[in-house]
Amino acid sequence: MAPQIDYTAVFTALPSPCLVLGTDLVIADANPAFCEGTGRSQTELVGQYLFDAFPDNPADPEADGAVTLKASLHRVLSSGQTDHMALQKYDIPIAGNPEVFKERWWTAINVPVLDPDGKVAWIIHRSEDMTDVVLARRTAHLPSVRPGREAAMEAELYSRARQLQRLNEELRQAHARERRIAVALQEAMLHVPDLARHPDVAVRYLPAAGSLNVCGDWYDAVDLPGGRFAVAVGDVVGHGLMAATVMGRLRSALSAATRTVHGPAQALEVLGLYARSVEGALAATAVQVLVDCHSHLLIYSSAGHPPPVLLHPDGACELLDQATDPPLGARPEHVPRPQANSTYTPGDTLILYTDGLIERRGEDIDVGLARLTSTLATCTGFGAEHLADALLARLDLTSGANDDIAMVVVRLNGTPPRT
The torsion of the CA quartet 71, 91, 63, 30, rounded to 10 degrees, works out to 20
Beta partners for residue 289, in sequence order: 231, 300
Q: What is the DSSP string of 102-136?
A: E--EEEEEEEEEE-TTS-EEEEEEEEEE-HHHHHH
Res 28 pLDDT > 90: yes
Closest CA to 56 of 70, 43, 42: 70
10 Å CB burial of residue 351 (0-12, 13-18, 19+) is buried
Q: What is the mean pLDDT of residues 316-325?
A: 96
Q: According to the model, what pLDDT value does residue 196 have?
A: 86
DSSP state of 348: B
Q: According to the model, what pLDDT value does residue 282 have?
A: 84
Question: In whole angstroms, what is the distance from residue 48 CA to residue 19 CA?
Answer: 12
- Please give the span between the terminal C-alpha atoms of the chain, in angstroms, as a whole number: 68
Question: In whole angstroms, what is the distance from residue 262 CA to residue 290 CA?
Answer: 10
> What value does the CA radius of gyration of the chain take, rounded to a whole number of Å?
23
Q: According to the model, what pLDDT value does residue 130 have?
A: 87
Express each pLDDT in 248-280 by its tens digit.
899 999 999 999 999 999 999 999 999 988 988
pLDDT band per the 50, 70, 90 thresholds, residue 99: confident
Between residues 95 and 381, the one the model is more confident about? 381
- Phi, psi dihedral angles at 60 (to 5 degrees): -110, 105
Express each pLDDT in 345-371 by its tens digit.
999 999 999 999 999 888 899 999 999
Closest CA to 392 of 358, 347, 349, 348: 358
Question: In whole angstroms, what is the distance from residue 107 CA to residue 130 CA?
Answer: 7
Global confidence as pTM:
0.78
Q: According to the model, what pLDDT value does residue 170 have?
A: 65
Closest CA to 293 of 230, 359, 245: 230
Q: What is the mean pLDDT of residues 5-11?
A: 91
Strands 309-311 vs 349-353: parallel, antiparallel or unpaired = antiparallel
Q: According to the model, what pLDDT value does residue 96 have?
A: 78
DSSP state of 144: T
Coil, helix or strand for 101? Answer: strand
Q: What is the DSSP string of 315-338?
A: S-EEE--SSEEPPTT-SSS--PPP
Contacting residues for 322 by C-beta, under 8 A, at least 6 apart: 338, 340, 342
Q: Which of 390-394, 407-411, 413-417 has the lowest mean pLDDT?
A: 413-417
Express each pLDDT in 53-76 by its tens digit.
999 999 998 888 999 999 999 999
Q: Which amino acid is at 219?
A: Y
Q: Measured in whole angstroms, how far is the alpha carbon of residue 350 from the centre of its chain?
A: 15
- Phi, psi dihedral angles at 100 (to 5 degrees): -110, 130
Q: What is the mean pLDDT of residues 284-288?
A: 96
Q: According to the model, what pLDDT value does residue 43 have?
A: 94
CA distances from 406 to 78, 203, 332, 334 (A): 14, 8, 29, 28
Question: In whole angstroms, what is the distance from residue 348 CA to residue 183 CA?
Answer: 34
Closest CA to 207 of 175, 244, 248: 244
Express each pLDDT in 118-176 by its tens digit.
899 999 999 999 888 788 766 655 455 555 555 566 666 656 666 665 666 566 565 54
Closest CA to 386 of 291, 306, 311: 311
Alpha carbons within 13 angstroms on the beta-carbon side of residue 216 total 19
Q: According to the model, what pLDDT value does residue 155 have?
A: 60
